[in-house]
Amino acid sequence: MLYHLFDSIDFSVPGSGVFGYISFRAAMAVFVSLLISLWFGGGIIRLLRRLQVGETVRDLGLEGQLTKQGTPTMGGLIILSATILPTLLFARLDNIYIILLLVSTVWMGLIGFLDDYIKVFKKDKRGLAGKFKVVGQVGLGLIVGATVYFHPEIRTRVEVPAVVAEMMDPEDVHTITEADGTQHFMLNRKSPNTTIPFVKGNEFNYSTLLKPFGQGAREYTWLLYIAVVIFIITAVSNGANITDGVDGLATGTSAIIVLTLGILAYVSGNIIFSQYLGIMYIPGSGELAVFIGALLGACIGFLWYNAYPAQVFMGDTGSLALGGIIATLAILVRKELLIPVLCGVFLVENLSVVMQVSYFKWTKRKYGEGRRIFLMSPLHHHFQKKGIHESKIVSRFWIVGIMLAVLSIVTLKLR
Per-position b or e across 164-184, b if 16+ CB within 10 A of its CB: ebeeeeeeebbeeeeeeeeeb
**CA separation for the pair 151, 138 (Å, rounded):** 19
Answer for the pair 20, 4: CB distance below 8 angstroms, yes or no: no
Q: Which residues have C-beta within 8 Å of that of residue 148, sequence separation ≥ 6?
A: 100, 154, 192, 225, 229, 331, 332
Q: Which residue has the higher pLDDT, 8 or 330?
A: 330
Q: Give CA angle at 84 (192, 50), nearest 5°.
A: 135
For residue 320, pLDDT beyond 90: yes
Residues in the chain: 415
Report the SS3 class of residue 371.
coil
Q: Which residue has the higher pLDDT, 156 or 238?
A: 238
The per-residue pLDDT of the chain, averaged, comes to 87
Tell me what pLDDT residue 147 has.
Answer: 95
Q: Which residues have C-beta within 8 Å of that of residue 45, sequence separation ≥ 6?
A: 72, 75, 78, 305, 311, 312
For residue 7, pLDDT beyond 90: no
Place 264 in a pLDDT band, splitting at 50, 70 and 90. very high
What's the mean pLDDT in 319-330? 96
Tell me what pLDDT residue 22 has.
Answer: 87
Tell me what pLDDT residue 327 has.
Answer: 97
Q: Which residues have C-beta within 8 Å of that of residue 206, sequence separation ≥ 6?
A: 192, 193, 194, 221, 224, 225, 228
**CA separation for the pair 145, 226 (Å, rounded):** 5
**CA separation for the pair 197, 411 (Å, rounded):** 6
Q: What is the percent of the chain with per-residue pLDDT over 70, rounded to a whole number? A: 84
Strand partners, 185: 160, 175
* DSSP category for residue 13: P
Per-position b or e across 65-101, b if 16+ CB within 10 A of its CB: beebeebbbbbbbbbbbbbbbbbebbbbeebbbbbbb
Tell me what pLDDT residue 168 has.
Answer: 63
Q: pLDDT tens digits for 170-227? A: 666 667 666 666 666 666 667 778 888 877 767 788 888 888 887 778 888 999 999 9
Question: Comparing 16-25, 63-72, 259-268, 345-354, which segment has the lowest mean pLDDT?
Answer: 63-72
Tell me what pLDDT residue 268 has.
Answer: 87
* Residue 292: HSE in the Cβ half-sphere, 13 Å Cα cutoff: 28
What's the mean pLDDT in 357-374? 92
**CA separation for the pair 87, 109 (Å, rounded):** 16
For residue 241, pLDDT beyond 70: yes
What is the pTM for the complete model shown?
Answer: 0.90
For residue 166, pLDDT beyond 80: no
Helices (H), 244-279: 249-268, 271-277
Strand partners, 183: 177
Tell me what pLDDT residue 16 has.
Answer: 60
Answer for the pair 265, 291: CB distance below 8 angstroms, yes or no: no
For residue 293, pLDDT beyond 70: yes
Q: Which residues have C-beta within 8 Å of that of residue 197, sequence separation ≥ 6?
A: 335, 337, 338, 341, 408, 411
Q: pLDDT tens digits for 58-116? A: 656 666 665 677 788 889 999 999 999 999 999 999 999 999 999 999 999 999 999 99
Q: How far is the CA of 94 from the CAs of 1, 234, 282, in angstroms? A: 10, 27, 16
Tell me what pLDDT residue 348 has.
Answer: 96
Tell me what pLDDT residue 17 has.
Answer: 67
Report the SS3 class of residue 196.
coil
For 52, other C-beta atoms within 10 Å of its C-beta total 10
**CA separation for the pair 156, 188 (Å, rounded):** 6
Please give the full DSSP string across 50-116, using - where no structure is assigned: HTT-BPP----S-TT-GGGTT-B--THHHHHHHHHHHHHHHS-TT-HHHHHHHHHHHHHHHHHHHHH
What's the mean pLDDT in 260-273? 88
